[in-house]
Structure 1
Amino acid sequence: MSWRVSADIGGTFTDLVAIGPQGELRTKKVSSSVGDYGRAIVEGLGQLFVEAGFAAAAVEEVLHATTVASNAILEHKGAKTGLITTQGFRDVLEIRTLRMPRLYDLRWEKPVALVPRHLRLGVRERVLHTGAVETPLDEAGARAAVEALLAEGVEAIAVCLLHSYANPAHERRIGAIIAELAPGLPASLSVDVLPEMKEYERTSTTVINSYIGPVLGRYLGALGQDLRAAGLQGPLLLMQSSGGLMPAAEAARLPVRVVESGPAAGVIGAQALAKRIGLPNAISFDMGGTTAKAGVIENYQVAQAAEYSVGGGIMVGSRLLSGAGYQLKVPSIDLAEVGAGGGSLIRIDAAGAPQVGPESAGADPGPVCYGRGNAQPTVTDANVVLGYLNPRALVGGALPIDAAASRAAIAGKIATPLGLTPEEAAHGAHLIAASNMIRAIKAVSSERGRDPRGFALVAFGGNGPLFAAGMAQALGMRRVVVPPSAGVFSAVGLLASDVEVHLARSWRRATHRLDPAALEEAAAALEAEARARLAAQGFPPERIVVQRAATLRYQGQSFELQVGFAAGDGPAVLAEGFGAEHERTYGHRAGPGEPVEIVALQVVGRGLPDRPRMPDRLAPPAAATPQPARPAYFGRAAGWLDTPVLARAALAAPRQGPAIIEEYDCTCLVPPGATAALDDFGNIIIDLGESSA
């Protein structure tokens, strides 16, 4: 066995990638099978094996990024869940943190709790924040609570007691009672899911783990069976929200770790690319059929977030305006997301202004040009009208395009009501979609104290390379990088990931009074546990790497920042690192006399493969059939320009824009005034020159 395959499910397409022992790359793009996502994976892989000429038995592992967990939350289709908590605290899940996502909006309503009130039961017990037991657990009451939830027919139970992170004994006992009364029923204990302080975040995260657990467990079980039936015997690994991989069995136990699995893969791919070409600072831009995501890579490191929310709409804009969705306090790549993709609908709002998204035509029926019954134009239809996309077919000819239908829809629904020509209306929709996505890039850069002009834009996804150069110009960025197989790059990114174990514990200490030996002892204990977990997965000591981090704040602050540190670093090093990060993020730092407090310790353990998952160089794709030039519209100033349609290989010598680079999985647009060329690794480098932004 020497091939590795990966599968990334998107809202419109499922992307499949296989990499062979010599770096040969084979890709496949198929429509997502909504309702049974695994079917598209198995059927698509079968087609890929035939086209690539190798058998399923040659596959040594299958890597997977999935939206099943997030969809269960978004669509409220999770398991019927019960919650057992400390008496008097069952409404923590509903009270939340009183954060308002939209200031002064009196019509905003918080999302419905995932566990209704009658399924949230309290038991008599009390543990103090020091870990001391003030009130022993009422075991009879705990047993009665479990029996009551079972009588209601719950499919999963979450247990989250006050300050259990400091003393897990009561939670462990309730877990044992659940196992006794309902063997096999999924039970999530907060001490296993999130042993950290902050009551709402801990409760919400534990509840979500229970809510999506049965759904993801059934999906992974069925997918595993289907893969084995298709002859794939290698292990199935899932992408975590943090960008690491985890075994499918572990993902079924801690599904809360894979909620943002799909978007993370692309950022990890961009990080691997940045390291390969010597690009320390980059912003990843991933635009598919439904959403666009942005992440930041600084000094070759991916920015991480300690928590995020799901189901509160699009994740973009100031992080202070949070609280709209369901809170998850788990490690994740710091991403901003907007509802802008090829399938985003273009409409005129009640005020007579054009709007793009966040509603999407999705995979079915898709854009008007797909000919599947949709009459409302989309961003893809606008790009067809503008001449940017092939007017006959996409995906290597597998997806026929009706350009006349796109033009008629843009004309009838948008252009005529606004008094514009179809190309003017389509160009306006293209610019509106771009401006929406620029907000996502600003959210991970300028709103984090980073100037985007000091970063390169790494663009991928089915639509990312089409918009990247125009967006970069608007932001004052000078370079765009479009990697090989950009349209399926998130699936490629899966192949660059390592197995990861994340551990954390609350550990409140003031740095100026902290004994360095105590810090080392606590961090070393977490590190030893991470190494033991990876060893249990078959990784020998020489292939295990562990990184330490601490979450800190100025004493009295409500929010924290995470700072990495090495073995032997003392409290003073942590305090200085926190001050520097605070200044970089917020533009200032407190004076030397302001106390700094450690809130929690974290470690990330990585299990390295016996050989790199990604080869140093990917074999180039087969040469594309030359295409004739076609007119493309670049706004009122430039108008229609006769634009060459090129294959990637044609950029071996630099070419001036305008130009369109057509590939199997995506289309790249080089605007007038820009220069495009290939680097030594086959990436398209678009040089935008000096910008006036």
Structure 2
Amino acid sequence: MIYVGVDIGGTFTDTVVFDENAPQHVEIVKVSTDANELEKAVVEGLRRYQGKAQSVSLLSHATTVGTNALLTRTGLAKTALITNQGFRDILEIGRQRRPELYNLRTQRPVPLVRRRDRFTVRGRMRVDGSQLEQLNNEDLRTFAQRIIQSGFEAVSISLLHSYAYPAHENKVRDVLREAGFSGHVDVSSEIDPEYREYERTSTTVVNSVLSLLVSKYLTRLERELRLIGFHCPLYVMNSDGTASTITQASQRPVSIIESGPAAGVLASKSLASVLGCRKAITFDMGGTTAKAGTIINGRPDLAYEFEAAARTYHGRSIKGSGYPVRQPFIDLAEVSAGGGTIASIDETGGLKVGPESAGADPGPAAYGKAGRQATVTDANIVAGRINPTQLLSGNLQLHYDLAVEAIGRLSRTLGISVEKMAERILRIVNNNMSRALRLVSIERGRDPREYTLISFGGAGPLHACDLAEELGIKRIVIPLHPGLFSAFGLLTAELSRTFTQPILRPVTASVERTFTQLRERARRSLKQEAFTTYQAMEHVDLRYQGQAYEITLPYRRHTNLARLFSREHQKLYGYSSNDTVEAVNARLRAVIPTPKARLAKKSLRPSRPPATISSRRMSLLGAWQKVPVYSRETFRPGVYGKGPCIVEEYDSTTVIGKHWSWTVDGYENLDLTTRSKSQ
């Protein structure tokens, strides 16, 4: 069987083709992403495999289509919101989160549904499930006709206390359908059945506005793939590192918003597992951003709420600058630091790098596409770290003279040499990226010196040694084809469904009863999709009574939840309490087994590296030195050597510092370890 993974990034679309009959040979393709027609790059990458299409048993892909739509506010469905009378302005009121605390003119995100497109109905449920006021049928029929006549494409329904008592929401939906509305309808009790009406409403609205765009995109992609002979199941990566069928992803696009970043962490998780690595920091640097995460004992950090399309500052999401979404996602720190990140002189006359990016078009100045601004890629070329004639086997030609010209414009402004300017740009971008690594390690009470750095992305291996030295990390693993590594992660994903049910009572009450109901609900839902075999992973949200936020912990029957929570609270915050512990939500993730790619291990034959392909003068960020250049395609498992040197391959370049030794392991990874300065 053949498995195909496609990772659609902002600059390139990466395709990995894995044949389990020849696991030692993974085929790779990298093509430029067309931001207007994302499916074009997928089809272009796969067209050369049409002859093998019938042997492909799985095609999984990650996409940023949802994130891009929210950032640019283009392609979103015309959406109406139906809520309770008195709650029309819930999207504006939100929470007391100001993206700029001391800016009196700060602007919050524009609501995804205009005020005039929000309809309020008479009728209300109490928190105990009793009916305070009956729904007004006349209101519902009037609103249904207005929604149809106004040409709305989607409707979000979010009523008070519907997370536990959905009868009113279901009735509103029924009236809409009976009136003839044929568009997409979301009820909050199905999209996000948790309390806190603002977050529940926001999540439901985000799902609705993305519904048309994502479903059309996936339909086009499936059609184009069928036209070139690919009739295999098509899966989409979820934000939490699992996968969905295209039917599920079309209905719940909110679950794939952070699809792209999750793939790289999943690939790192698989690699860490085969290497027996208990603690790993992942570092993914591409053309636009750099992302860092952690994996401990085979588990990446998961969070259950984030703000979509939010601004970031030094790796942190700025609260109040995006749209709240309650969905599980892999918790990453992200900074605007990629190959296309622009270097410029600010108003004070100082050098700054980012957050603006040249993207794929026009891209770095060296691309020769009319881009004139200096970027991190241009700085790496001037610093001798990138060979402008070797990327993508020479299919991506870079122009050294244009890179020098762009860096030169900045250097003349500051009165320094072109080479020193390139070094300064690289030092600044390294400093920006190290903040992301610190955020997922030191700031979470983790010592980075105990971790292995797994570095990938097209630009990651260029900066890995510099970053590791700054944080005291002693081991780096650079996988084969690091620029396409995230796409490989798509081939290791499991299908999953997540189910949630509110509890909202002390843990001394019967929490197990809620989990029994949740298991039955999951079983019925999965049976409708013909999934009868799955593994259930259960978690519970706990807090001290009166607290505003919860800690999510694994749930096991007969566990003393109060003791478990207090122990975790002590670990995280330095204290625990005798206050009553309250269970807030029961969570069940059903993981459905699917075929997965497995890395093949080769035998080691220790030997010195083969002959160099060249040598060149390179900046070590402090000194320039002529270093040997190797082709990674000539490396075999067991080959070893010492830095400083450069290792070039199809999709990336690795810079190995002067204090590092390296070897090629049985999985063809470059395994780097620090050595003493006297060696």
Common fold by TM > 0.5 = yes
Taking a change above 3 Å as real, the CA distance of residues 227 and 317 of structure 1, as seen in their structure-2 partners, is closer
* Structure-2 residue corresponding to 1:614: 598
Question: 1:576: Cα distance to partner?
Answer: 2.8
> How far is 1:651 from its partner?
7.5
Alpha carbons of 1:470 and 1:599: their partners in 2 closer, same or farther (altered >3 Å)? same
Q: How many residues align?
A: 669
| Secondary structure of 1:652 counterpart | coil
Q: Tell me: CA distance 1:312–1:46, structure 2 relative to 1, closer, same or farther (3 Å).
A: same
Q: Which amino acid aligns with 1:147?
A: Q
Deviations 1:33-92 (A, max 9, x none): 120000110111113x17xxx521211121010111111111111111110001101111
* CA drift at 1:550: 0.7
Cα distance in 1, alignment partners of residues 352 and 203 from structure 2: 35
Say yes or no: does 1:445 pair with 2:445.
no
- Which residue of the other structure, out of 259, 262, 265, is the alignment partner of 2:260? 262
1:288-303 alignment runs, 5 A limit: 288-303=286-301
After the TM superposition, which residues 442-591 of structure 1 pair with which residues of structure 2 at under 5 Å, given as runs? 442-511=438-507, 513-514=508-509, 518-541=510-533, 544-566=534-556, 568-570=557-559, 572=560, 574-586=561-573, 588-591=574-577
Out of 422, 433, 450, the position equivalent to 2:418 is 422
Name the aligned partner's letter for residue 522 of structure 2.
Answer: A
Name 2:323's counterpart in structure 1.
326
Contact 2:315–2:334, Cα closer than 8 Å, also in 1: no
Equivalences for residues 634-645 of structure 1 within 5 A: 634-636=620-622, 638-645=623-630
Q: What pairs with 1:34-433 in structure 2 (closer than 5 Å)?
A: 34-47=35-48, 49=49, 54-77=51-74, 78-314=76-312, 316-317=314-315, 321-412=318-409, 414-433=410-429
Shift of the 627–650 alpha-carbon distance from structure 1 to 2, 3 Å rule, reads farther
Partner of residue 5, structure 1: 4
Equivalent residues of 2:602, 2:666 under 8 A apart:
no
- In the TM superposition, residue 328 of structure 1 has moved relative to its aligned partner by 0.5
Measured after TM superposition, the shift of residue 153 of structure 1 is 2.1
Moved more, 236-245 or 435-444: 435-444
> What letter is aligned with 1:20?
D
Residues 125 and 668 of structure 1: CA distance in aligned 2, closer, same or farther (over 3 Å): same
457-466 vs 206-215, which moves further: 457-466
Alpha-carbon distance, 1:248 to partner: 0.1
1:211-245, Cα deviation, whole Å (9 max, x unpaired): 00000011011111101111000111010001100
Provide closer, same or farther for how the CA distance between residues 617 and 679 of structure 1 changes in structure 2, counting only shifts above 3 A. closer
The CA deviation at 1:535 is 4.1
- Quick one: distance in 2 between partners of 1:235 and 1:315? 39
Q: What's the TM-score once normalised by structure 1's chain length?
A: 0.93
2:8 is aligned with what amino acid? I
User: Could you tell me how far apart the structure 2 residues matched to 1:106 and 1:469 are?
Assistant: 43
Tell me the secondary structure at the aligned position of residue 340 of structure 1. Answer: coil
Distance 1:589 1:569 in 2: 25
CA drift at 1:624: 11
Matched, 1:600 2:585: yes
Distance 1:45 1:618, change over 3 A: farther
Contact preservation (8 Å) 1:339, 1:359: yes
8 Å CA contact 1:624, 1:663 repeated in 2:
no
Shift of residue 292, structure 1, vs aligned partner: 1.1
Which amino acid is 2:598 matched to? M
Aligned to 1:679: 665
1 CA distance for matches of 2:313 and 2:245? Answer: 28
Query: 3-state SS of the aligned residue for 1:552?
Result: strand
- Mapped to 2, the partners of 1:338 and 1:678 lie a distance apart of 30
* Separation in structure 1 between the aligned mates of residue 568 and residue 628 of structure 2, nearest angstrom: 46
TM-score (norm: length of structure 2): 0.95
Aligned residue number for residue 656 of structure 1: 642
AA paired with 1:468? A
What amino acid sits opposite 1:139 in the alignment?
A: N
Shift of 1:525: 2.5
Q: Which runs of 5+ in 1 are unaligned?
A: none
Amino acid at match of 1:577: L
Evaluate the alpha carbon distance shift between residue 651 and residue 343 of structure 1 in structure 2; reply closer, same or farther with a 3 A threshold.
Answer: farther
Q: Tell me which amino acid in the other structure corresponds to 2:7.
A: D
The structural deviation recorded for 1:521 is 2.4
Q: RMSD between aligned alpha carbons?
A: 2.0
Report what 2:13 is aligned to. Answer: 14
Deviation of 1:121 after TM superposition, in Å, equals 1.2
